[in-house]
Amino acid sequence: MTDLDYLKLSKPAKIGYDFLSFLKRIPMGIVRGVQKLFRSIWHIICLFGANVKDVIMTFVNGDWKTRISFLIMGFGNCARGQWLRGILFFLFQTVFNLYMFNFGMPYLAKFSTLGDIPTTKKGRVTVYGDNSFFILLYGILTIFFILAFIYTWRVNVRQNKLGQKYLKEGKRLQTGKEDLQSMADEQFHKTLLALPTLGIFTFTVLPIIFMILVAFTNFDYEHQPPSKLFTWVGWDNFHTLLSSGGANYGDTFRQVLFWTLVWAFFATFLNYFMGMLVAIMINKKGIRFKKVWRTILVMTIAIPQFVSLLYVSKMFAADGLINGTLMRWKWISEPIPFWTNAHWARFTVILINLWIGIPYLMLIATGILMNIPADLYESARMDGANAIQMYMKITLPYMLFVTGPYLLTSFIGNINNFNVIFLLTQGKPLSMELAGNAGYTDLLITWLYKMTVSDTNYKIAAVIGILVFIITVIINLVVYNLMPSVKNEEDFQ
């Protein structure tokens, strides 16, 4: 198809065509991805080889200071007068050695089995054995520590090489004071990023890797260390979660996944269009008290969600305000099952989410609507367009164009929208037809939470987490691959 043919297509046909060509690109994309993977592996091998060569050459060409530094880190730095760097290197090596011999090695040695001697009680005496949890956690930590050590050692070798070279060339080496000064100047990013990186590593990276590995173990209520150890089980948990029949969770998983996607769709797009509509109404010329309307709506953002959502959830309860009032007025004879009927509950959740979401979208849309060039509307009005046409042809495309990335993040955010569901329904109504304590309004994320807190079924929780991650990645990839065609039109550039 030529570009001209493409431009002749109608809007839906264009989207269809984009989608088909995206599907066609998938095999090529996979091939390219694999190629890229191999290339980067090869690149890493080359890099490794170059590094090894450089290390050997440094040793061969090095003087005695350099050579001793291979064993005692920082020796060369100190010998050449760079005391600060040298002492830091040496300290790191000491800490590493102490850690490895006293702490790291025993844990790492049991990493392949996650321990085999459970803690038992002989009479009144507790005989302490292994603890799979700590073996796994500290095993990962130790592996990272070893990698960090290798890297630091490599830096140490390079510093010696450079130091030796500079001195031979008659240059002066940076003193400790200058080092410190550069930490506030050229190397300022190291100062700025040191603490955040450490935090992200310890409290995000390490736990995530830990949980990914838990998905391949049998860590659950029956295997709680230290008295009952857990161990590696391969892909069993994925099998349990994805296949149906017996004690497997497959049917429930599909049910929950389906509702998660439906929910994310409505929560994103319904809020989006309604919020935009409200923003247009408030911003219309001739409407007064704009600020008042806006402030009233924004109240729902300001008030903490646990107050407003918990209160609203009680309003809709069987004995709550709404049912009570309607019954007193004799409009209904028995309470509407807002939270006890699956369909009602799903509907109510989406409805109340509008209450939460519209103000937010209204704020965003207001900012963007003001940026739409007024002459676009002016010329449309000259051509005799009415309000609806102007909305469809100018406002909506402009908004979609500008907020495309926002829609994506918002969709992903709604897949993980824990607060609204949990504070309103806790995933209820529950059902015998659903396994693993899931309810009809449970999202994957609230199900994961239940698995963790009430069922202590950590292995399945970990698998759900990984699947949510995979879903997120797929949606991101698909949208970003479809986006260029949106951008090509450049309607508003």
Partner 1 sequence: MTTKKTSIPEVDIEIDQEKGVIREVKTEKYLRSKKNHEKHVNRSIYTILVIMSIIWLAPFVFLVLQSFRSYLTESGGMVDYVIPHHFSLDNYRYLFQDGMFFRWYGNTLIIALVCAVIQTCMVLSVSYALSRMRFRGRKLFMNVVLVLGMFPGFLTMIALYFLLKQLGLTQEGAIPGLILIYCASSGMGYYISKGFFDTIPKSLDESARIDGASRALVFWKIIMPMSKPIVIYTIMMAFMAPWGDYVFASYVALGRAESYNVAVGLYRWVNTNDYQGYFTRFCAGGVLVAIPITLLFMFLQKYYVEGVTGGAVKG
Q: Give, as ranges, the residues between 408 and 437 that touch partner 1 (CB under 8 A).
A: 408-409, 412, 416, 418-419, 422-423
Q: Show contacts with partner 1 in window 441-460 (CB under 8 A).
A: 444-445, 448-449, 452-453, 458
Nearer to partner 1, 18 or 220 (CB): 220
Q: Which is nearer to partner 1, 242 or 407 (CB)?
A: 407
Q: What's the closest the beta carbon of residue 73 comes to partner 1, in angstroms?
A: 22
Q: Is there binding between residue 332 and partner 1 (CB under 8 A)?
A: no
| Residues within window 363-402 making contact with partner 1, judged by CB under 8 A | 363-364, 366-368, 402
Q: Helix, strand, or coil here: 422?
A: helix
Do residues 451 and 445 make contact, with C-beta atoms less than 8 angstroms apart?
Answer: no
Among the listed residues 46, 205, 262, 396, the single contact to partner 1 using CB under 8 A:
205
Which positions ≥6 away from 362 have C-beta within 8 Å?
275, 276, 278, 279, 282, 294, 297
CB of 35 to partner 1, least distance (A): 19
Residue of 123, 170, 304, 484 interacting with partner 1 (CB under 8 A): 304
Shorter beta-carbon distance to partner 1: residue 81 or 337? 337
The residue (of 21 and 452) whose beta carbon lies closer to partner 1 is: 452
Please name every residue paired with 217 in a beta bridge, in sequence order, or none if there are none.
232
Query: In the bound complex, what is the minimum distance in angstroms from residue 193's beta carbon to partner 1?
Result: 5
User: Quick one: which segment of 27-35, 90-98, 353-361, 388-396 binds partner 1 (CB under 8 A)?
Assistant: 353-361
* 115, 131 Cβ separation under 8 angstroms: yes
Q: How many CA atoms lie within 13 A of 119 on its CB side?
A: 13
Interacting residue with partner 1 among 355, 390, 400, 455 (CB under 8 A): 355
- Tell me how long the chain is: 493
Quick one: which of 280, 405, 302, 422 has its CA closest to 353? 422
Instruction: Name the one range near partner 1 by CB under 8 A: 35-43, 73-81, 236-244, 318-326.
Output: 318-326
Of positions 325, 379, 389, 488, contacts partner 1 by CB under 8 A:
325
Which of 91-125 are b and which e, b meaning 16 or more Cβ less than 10 Å from the residue's Cβ? ebbeebeebbeeebeebbebbeebbeebbeeeeee
Helix or strand (DSSP H, E) at 127: strand 125-127
Q: Is 403 in the site for partner 1 (CB under 8 A)?
A: yes
Segment 58-117, which members bind partner 1 (CB under 8 A)? none
Query: Minimum Å distance from CB 67 to partner 1?
Result: 28
Q: How far apart are CA 304 and CA 308, in angstroms?
A: 7
CB 74, min distance to partner 1, A: 22
CB atoms inside a 10 Å sphere around CB 410: 22
Residue 311 contacts partner 1 per CB under 8 A: yes
Token readout for 486 is 């949106």
Q: Which two tokens stand for residue 336?
A: 């509407």
Q: 10 Å Cβ neighbour count for 458?
A: 23
Distance CA 93, CA 146 (A): 11
Q: Which stretch binds partner 1 (CB under 8 A): 69-77, 94-102, 190-198, 243-251?
A: 190-198
Q: Is 455 helix (H, G, I), strand (E, B) or coil?
A: coil
Number of residues that bind partner 1 (CB under 8 A): 97
User: What is the enclosing helix (H) or strand (E) of 410?
Assistant: helix 396-415
- Phi, psi (5° rounding) for residue 285? -60, 140
Among 261, 315, 380, 385, binds partner 1 (CB under 8 A): 315
Amino acid at 84: L
Of positions 202, 243, 431, 488, contacts partner 1 by CB under 8 A: 202
Compute the least distance from the CB of residue 413 to partner 1, in Å: 11
Tokens of 359: 């103000």
**Residue among 80 and 110 whose Cβ is closer to partner 1:** 110
Residues 223-282 that bind partner 1 (CB under 8 A): 278, 281-282
**CB-wise, 146 or 277, nearer to partner 1?**
277
Is residue 203 a contact residue for partner 1 (CB under 8 A)? yes
301 binds partner 1 (CB under 8 A): yes
- DSSP characters for 29-46? HHHHHHHHHHHHHHHHHH
